Amino acid sequence: MPDVAEPILSVRNLKKYFPIRRGVLARVAAHVKAVDDISFDINKGETFGLVGESGCGKTTAGRAVLRLIEPDTGTIRFDGIDLLSLSSQQLRRRRRDMQIIFQDPYASLNPRMTIRTIVGEPFAIHGIARGSERDDRVANLLKTVGLDPSVLGRYPHEFSGGQRQRIGIARALALKPKLIVADEPVSALDVSIQAQIINLLGDLQQQFGLTYLFISHAIPVIEHISTRIGVMYLGKLVEVGTSAQICLAPKHPYTQALLSAVPIPDPGARKQRVVLKGDVPTPINPPSGCRFHTRCPIAIDRCKVEEPPLRETQDGRDAACHLVE
């Protein structure tokens, strides 16, 4: 049998535009093209990293995949089912298999709920396990994420940022999901705590065979945790490849600039970098042609008019650039 990895999630031509309304009649004046026609696959058991700067659409993409934000067009096949064709009833049942972990562990836990209620809520919603059985399950989940089960009756404010993130992870694991979207799960944490949570996510993936869509702006974190990486710029995927392809030998000029901007914790390694001119343009009226042409160090005339499609390159990765072979 050939060992062909089979995608658990298959996203095609996903688009999400947010209308901007103006005037007393709230007429739609323009659109923020947050996610503009992106396609990618995630294989079972792998971690797909989505990386980019603020406003590139990575968070919108992550939420649209779970239909937490309703996409405008496109298809999302998850575990053989077209998610966009489901009614809200059917979708709620499917949600057991897809969970999310948020960035801010201070904002994503209800301060008035005990840990028992927070982590037990998925069971309550889906009518699984009651009373002491539910408590047992919650206690087990807490143990799984490295918390002492004696904290069941306590409230979120009694925990540190790292511990709260563990609680958020326990909640996401409650229904034994297949896919977890992790949206900047370690960005709000201190360096020494970050490493603990990254390791925990890795351990859980092995233990439960989880698939992750891992969203972050922190490239070293993405590189460490991901099997494959997609780089986004202004609502588009500009390069998709294995973690080594993207981080050791980036081909798209944006990926190259992004990587060269990452500060290296080694004073001996100060290097020549591609410093990009200017700011990221607004996604309301993105530049014509290739969206990166306004800041690209190697742009040619063709880039201003013709949008480069994301296509396979010689070494098997995908890149959206006229100048990449």
Partner 1 sequence: MSNVLEVKNLKTYFYTDEGVVKAVDDVSFSVEKGKTLGLVGESGCGKSVTAMSISRLISPPGRIAGGEILLSGRNLLALNNEEMRQVRGSQISMIFQEPMTALNPVLTVGFQIAEAVLAHERVSRREAWSRAVEAMRAVAIPDAEKRAKDYPHQLSGGMRQRIMIAMALVCHPSLVIADEPTTALDVTIQAQILELLDSLREEYHLSLILISHDLGVIAEVAETVAVMYAGKIVEIGPAMDVFHNPKHPYTQGLLRSVPRLGSSVQKKDRLDVIEGMVPNLLHLPDGCSFAPRCYKKTVECTLSPIPLEPVSERQEVRCIHA
Binding-site ranges for partner 1 (CB under 8 A): 53-54, 160, 162, 190-196, 198-199, 202-203, 217-221, 223-225, 242-244, 247-248, 257-270, 273, 275-276, 279-280
Q: How far is the CB of 67 from partner 1 (least distance, A)?
A: 28
Q: How far is the CB of 307 from partner 1 (least distance, A)?
A: 21
Looking at the DSSP assignment, which residues form a beta bridge with residue 47? Answer: 212
Q: Which is nearer to partner 1, 43 or 260 (CB)?
A: 260
Q: Which is nearer to partner 1, 85 or 199 (CB)?
A: 199
Rounded to whole angstroms, the Cα distance separating 91 from 66 reads 9
| Three-class DSSP labels, 27-64 | EEEEEEEEEEEEEEEEECCCEEEEECCCCCCHHHHHHH
Q: How far is the CB of 125 from partner 1 (least distance, A)?
A: 31
Q: Which is nearer to partner 1, 53 or 72 (CB)?
A: 53
In order of 58, 116, 236, 237, 303, the CA distances from 319 in angstroms are 17, 46, 11, 8, 14
Q: Which is nearer to partner 1, 112 or 270 (CB)?
A: 270
Rounded to whole angstroms, the Cα distance separating 42 from 290 reads 26
Q: How far is the CB of 122 from partner 1 (least distance, A)?
A: 27
Q: How far is the CB of 264 from partner 1 (least distance, A)?
A: 6
Q: Which is nearer to partner 1, 180 or 219 (CB)?
A: 219
Q: Which is nearer to partner 1, 66 or 247 (CB)?
A: 247
DSSP labels, 98-163: EEEE-S-TTTSS-TTS-HHHHHHHHHHHTT---HHHHHHHHHHHHHHTT--GGGGG--GGGS-HHH
| 227 DSSP 8-state letter | S
Q: How far is the CB of 63 from partner 1 (least distance, A)?
A: 20
